[in-house]
């Protein structure tokens, strides 16, 4: 029982982390209708940005965290204005391929700089202490900090999307780009905003994953795969769906790793995906009949 509670909380922190990464993908897909495979490398580069600012320069974790968000947000805007703008009108295959190309380019750059695969730690607040519940439940402070950060991010995201004018323009664009443009919404500005937020969410996920584990040049692939599965599971483009799906996946993953073994834990996301595809291809919150 004690181990179960501990794994539940660890799974929650991992799942929330994945949900942050997936929310960035879901937002970009929901508003802009593009799947950005390079998102995985934004997560990885976010980790390295945090590493450089926090560990190498030697500042507080949150300085690195916000630096990662800002830099990855700007990188998102740069990708939008050079590549995804052209891709938006193209078929799905073109979008996936070109973003795969970007994935390779960014990955190479990171390998070139940090390719020795040394363990690169990022100090996170809360690593020094742990929460003791009852007799032998011990929960790392860093996990609790992660959960707190992700909660803050989701509240912030909710506020931006549903309570501000900018958010309204984004939702209008998601519902119908052309109509929104006719209503005087500037398409380019919405696009830049969406990619900034998406990139920043990816960067913050990377910062937290870097804090919990280590920063490595190949750390983007696993979260990318999980995020892709999460947005299918949650329903393409649905932010709430992404959060709930991320939580379910993270908790299931941790419980399986703990009780069955790490190899089977890796199979969990795919098992979930297969069941979702069989039972509800449109995802938890997707509209029925809108599969493609």
User: Rule CB under 8 A: which residues touch other proteins?
Assistant: 35, 83, 86-87, 90-98, 100-105, 107-109, 111-112, 115, 221, 225, 228-229, 232, 236, 263-264, 266-267, 269-270, 273-274, 277-278, 281, 291-292
Q: Of 79 and 153, which has the nearer Cβ to other proteins?
A: 79
Q: Min. distance of Cβ 137 from other proteins in angstroms?
A: 31
Q: Whole-number minimum distance, CB 74 to other proteins, in Å?
A: 19
Between 156 and 281, CB nearer to other proteins: 281
- 70: number of Cβ within 10 Å: 15
Q: Which is nearer to other proteins, 66 or 221 (CB)?
A: 221
Q: Shortest gap between Cβ of 225 and other proteins (angstroms)?
A: 6
The nearer residue to other proteins, 139 or 191, going by C-beta atoms, is 191
The token pair that represents 222 in the structure block:
């696993």
Nearest distance in Å: CB 145, other proteins:
30
Element (H, E) at 140: strand 137-140
Q: Which residue has the tokens 């509209």?
A: 287
Tokens of 145: 């900090």
Q: Indicate the residue among 60 and 291 with the shorter CB distance to other proteins.
A: 291
CB of 39 to other proteins, least distance (A): 13
């Amino acid at each position: 029982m004690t181990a179960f509670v501990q794994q539940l909380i660890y799974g929650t922190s991992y799942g929330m982390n994945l949900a942050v990464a997936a929310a960035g993908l879901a937002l970009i897909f929901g508003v802009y209708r593009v799947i950005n495979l390079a998102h995985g490398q934004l997560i990885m580069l976010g980790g390295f940005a945090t590493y450089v600012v926090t560990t190498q320069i030697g500042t507080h974790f949150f300085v690195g965290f916000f630096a990662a968000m800002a830099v990855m947000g700007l990188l998102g805007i740069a990708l939008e204005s050079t590549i995804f703008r052209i891709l938006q009108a193209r078929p799905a295959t073109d979008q996936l391929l070109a973003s795969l190309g970007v994935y390779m380019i960014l990955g190479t750059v990171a390998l070139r700089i940090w390719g020795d695969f040394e363990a690169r730690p990022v100090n996170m607040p809360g690593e020094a202490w742990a929460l003791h519940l009852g007799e032998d439940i011990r929960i790392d402070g860093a996990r609790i900090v992660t959960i707190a950060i992700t909660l803050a991010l989701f509240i912030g995201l909710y506020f931006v999307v549903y309570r501000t004018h900018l958010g309204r323009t984004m939702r209008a664009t998601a519902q119908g780009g052309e109509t929104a443009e006719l209503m005087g919404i500037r398409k380019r500005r919405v696009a830049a905003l969406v990619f900034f937020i998406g990139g920043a969410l990816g960067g913050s996920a990377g910062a937290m994953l870097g804090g919990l584990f280590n920063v490595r040049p190949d750390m983007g692939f696993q979260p990318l795969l999980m995020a892709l599965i999460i947005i299918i599971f949650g329903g393409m483009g649905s932010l709430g769906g992404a959060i709930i799906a991320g939580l379910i996946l993270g908790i299931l993953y941790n419980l399986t790793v703990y009780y069955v073994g790490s190899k089977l834990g890796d199979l969990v996301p795919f098992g979930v995906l297969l069941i979702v595809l069989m039972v509800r291809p449109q995802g938890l919150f997707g509209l029925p009949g809108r599969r493609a």
